[in-house]
Structure 1
Amino acid sequence: MPGRIVSRLATIIVSASLITLLNAVSSRVQAPTAQDFDRLFAHALELQQAGDLLGAIDTYKAALAITPDRADALSNLGAAYVRLGQFDDGIRQYEAAYYKSARPNEAIPQLKRVVSSDPESRSGHLILADCYLQTGQDQEVIALLKARERMFTTDLAYAYLLGTALLHTGDTAEGQKHIDRIFRAGESAEGHLLMGIAYLELKDGRSAKTELERAVQMNPTLPTAHSQYGRALLGLGDQEGAVREFRAELAVNINDFDANLFLGNIKKTDQQFADASSYLERATTIRPADLTARRLLATLRLQTGRVEEAVAMFESVEKDAPELIDVHVQLATAYNRLKRKQDADREKAIVDKLNAEAQAKARGGSAEPPER
């Protein structure tokens, strides 16, 4: 019997033995435990690294039968499917991992490999575009989808994703083309959502509210509809209604950045610090480079006495955006609390310099002395 077949049979026997053992434990004593999952997961990883992809797939499935929401197992299972050329199965696992982990940014490299290996994968392109959209990479959505219009001539999901990205970047004229395409297919929640986003970009909160209210009425589970409706309500002063909509969004779409960000800020203002931390941590996980989310979380850490963490976060933001005056102010405060007077004085000097430059710019002059 060839060695590869023997290896495959051995894998099946080992996996079957583990599953049989777990079933016996389940029937006689208790349900499988986290330790049982860890054992199967480790075995699956060994098989995958050894190149036994079919054995790894069987064992990952056995592990996921115990703990269905483990994003690392789902992602590894997706990678095994992709290496076998089973792209649709791989995409489904990556999609599940992305939604369950609230880390769409981590799904992006995997999905890029999928669309590179299978350029005709419509679902791969759309899920990758959605990951880009969730992580605020609107230009990447446009670059990915705009050149592939012929692949999606009648696909309204394509029109929705590309239209949303175009509206986010302020390209209302191009975005309107995709809104029109959706409405030509009949009235839809997606069409009203895109119109609402367009009105939000134009700072027309009342018109946005009308469109977004209709969107959530037509499809209460449409991703981002509740969060955008919440934004409109918040802009009109209805914080209670906004909180309700942000929570409704997270009930159907835990990855929504805006819902996590705004709820985190509201809870922070209300001094509900534990809740604020949960929301803001998730927001920074979804969009690790977002300056607003990072600043809010750093400020929260400072408020709650986690000063060393706050300093590290503010220093990271300062490196990426040295022109932000409030970051230097907060850093000076944090350094003072840590008795780091020299660092605090340096930040105060930067604040004075930036304020002088801003005042000079407002007067149309310069903060620097004239050259001799």
Structure 2
Amino acid sequence: MTAPTDTPSATPSTPPDLDLAVLHHLRGDLEGAEAGYRAVLAASPDNATALNNLGFAAAQSGRFDEAVELYERSLAIEDGATARLNLGNVRAALGDLEGGIAELSRATELAPGDPTAYDNLGQLLMLQGRIAEAEAAWRHALAIEDGPRLRTALATAVAATGRLGEAAGLLHQALTLDPQFGAAWAQLGAVLLLRGDVASAGEALANAKRLDPDDPGPRRHLALALLSLGRTDEAVVEFGELVRLAPDDATSRVDLAVLHLSAGRAAAALTQLDRALEAGPDDDRARLHRAFALRELGRLAEADELLQAIADGDGEQADRARQALVDEAS
């Protein structure tokens, strides 16, 4: 879920002390803002806006339980859309997706013209796998406020239903609105990969990488596209950058190791596999290819011992390990 796009609220009738606290908040001075809100509440304990804003500051500081209490106090005084939206986001951050969806649904009822509530609702519904409802929420948001981010979000739901052509169309529309929107390029690349248009996918993903070189997602898809295009050396470079950006990404480390093995670089493969196994010691795919790397390095006893251990188990790689042992014996 994206970060809440709301801001601290004020009304034309707010007291000057509250206006000053909001100003601190908008400037990023959370400590000053919290002190201001608490001063307002000391004088007016039932000020729903101050309670909501103090809850927002608490959530920004990671104090989610405190934020829930403050939002609920605000809502007990005044059932406002902003507090409902904020409470929904915090419930989701605490892992309560159902509670978050309920709050955000209420926010859309209270403020049917607010695209943020529909957008955040769509994200939570998507996380729950309620794809049709997520699509409907994002279509509501788009009807209120068009933009590349919402079109990209809608394309995510559309693609999840298998309507890849329609999803690609939405992403092209998003990029017409903003050709520099990296998330749309990344999503377009993923959709084109699924459609089998690997060359176009590679171009889209290269654009996504250019716009956000530190995002590992497009790099992984780009590496896979390059492999499909037979551009193995370039794929190795991308996987290398990927494990640099995401050192705990064991899957990409194993993929990189497999490429090293296929190119005869067993020592480099073994380095990557050992790192992958530090993160997941029971990863049978990493263990199997570690055995293959050990064989290439002439460490046959270690390789056979590892292959036997995999073969004796019931993991996905057990059959391959047994076959490798048979091939060696024959």
Call closer, same or farther: CA 1:246–1:112 in 2, change over 3 Å: farther
Separation in 1, partners of 2:235, 2:61: 36
For residues 169-212 of structure 1, the C-alpha deviation after alignment (integer angstroms, 9 at most, x for no partner) is 52314423431331230444334322321232233322322222
Corresponding residue number in structure 1 for 2:180: 221
Corresponding residue number in structure 2 for 1:298: 257
Separation in 2, partners of 1:138, 1:84: 22
Report how far residue 168 of structure 1 moved.
5.2
Residue 76 (structure 2) pairs with residue 114 (structure 1): no
Corresponding residue number in structure 1 for 2:131: 172
Equivalent residues in 2 for 1:255-270, closer than 5 Å = 255-267=214-226, 270=230
Work out which of the residue numbers 309, 316, 332 in structure 1 matches 2:278.
Answer: 316
Residue 161 (structure 2) pairs with residue 202 (structure 1): yes
Separation in 2, partners of 1:343, 1:112: 52
Call closer, same or farther: CA 1:335–1:247 in 2, change over 3 Å: same
Report how far residue 261 of structure 1 moved.
0.4
Task: Provide the secondary structure at the position in 2 that maps to 1:250.
Answer: helix
Report how far residue 86 of structure 1 moved.
7.8
Report how far residue 82 of structure 1 moved.
6.9
Corresponding residue number in structure 2 for 1:252: 211
Separation in 2, partners of 1:330, 1:359: 12
For residues 29-88 of structure 1, the C-alpha deviation after alignment (integer angstroms, 9 at most, x for no partner) is xxxxxxxxxxxxxxxxxxxxxxxxxxxxxxxxxxxxxxxxxxxxxxxxxxxx8796589x
Separation in 2, partners of 1:202, 1:139: 28
Work out which of the residue numbers 291, 299, 303 in structure 2 matches 1:332.
Answer: 291
Report how far residue 246 of structure 1 moved.
0.7
Separation in 2, partners of 1:343, 1:182: 59
Corresponding residue number in structure 2 for 1:280: 239
Equivalent residues in 2 for 1:1-372, closer than 5 Å = 114-116=61-63, 119=67, 149=104, 156=115, 159-160=118-119, 163-164=122-123, 166-167=125-126, 170-267=129-226, 270-273=230-233, 275-284=234-243, 287-302=246-261, 303=263, 304-305=265-266, 306-316=268-278, 318-319=280-281, 322=283, 324=284, 326-353=285-312
Task: Provide the secondary structure at the position in 1 that maps to 2:63.
Answer: helix
Could you tell me whether the CA contact under 8 Å between 1:246 and 1:260 is conserved in 2? yes
Task: Provide the secondary structure at the position in 1 that maps to 2:218.
Answer: helix
Report how far residue 229 of structure 1 moved.
0.8
Task: Provide the secondary structure at the position in 1 that maps to 2:196.
Answer: coil
Gaps of 5+ in 2: 1-27, 35-57, 71-81, 320-330
For residues 97-119 of structure 1, the C-alpha deviation after alignment (integer angstroms, 9 at most, x for no partner) is xxxxxxxxxxxxxx987343995
The letter of the residue matching 1:310 is: Q
For residues 341-366 of structure 1, the C-alpha deviation after alignment (integer angstroms, 9 at most, x for no partner) is 23312332244345798999xxxxxx
Return the TM-score normalized by structure 1: 0.50
Identity of aligned residues (%): 17
Could you tell me whether the CA contact under 8 Å between 2:189 and 2:200 is conserved in 1? yes
Separation in 1, partners of 2:214, 2:170: 23
Separation in 2, partners of 1:286, 1:338: 28
Separation in 1, partners of 2:120, 2:290: 39
Gaps of 5+ in 1: 1-80, 88-110, 130-136, 361-372
The letter of the residue matching 1:220 is: P
- Residues matched between the structures, number: 242
Could you tell me whether the CA contact under 8 Å between 1:167 and 1:201 is conserved in 2? no
Separation in 2, partners of 1:168, 1:286: 25
Return the TM-score normalized by structure 2: 0.56
Separation in 2, partners of 1:140, 1:342: 48
Could you tell me whether the CA contact under 8 Å between 1:216 and 1:226 is conserved in 2? yes
Corresponding residue number in structure 2 for 1:67: none
The letter of the residue matching 1:200 is: A
Separation in 2, partners of 1:284, 1:228: 21
Call closer, same or farther: CA 1:177–1:317 in 2, change over 3 Å: same
The letter of the residue matching 1:221 is: Q
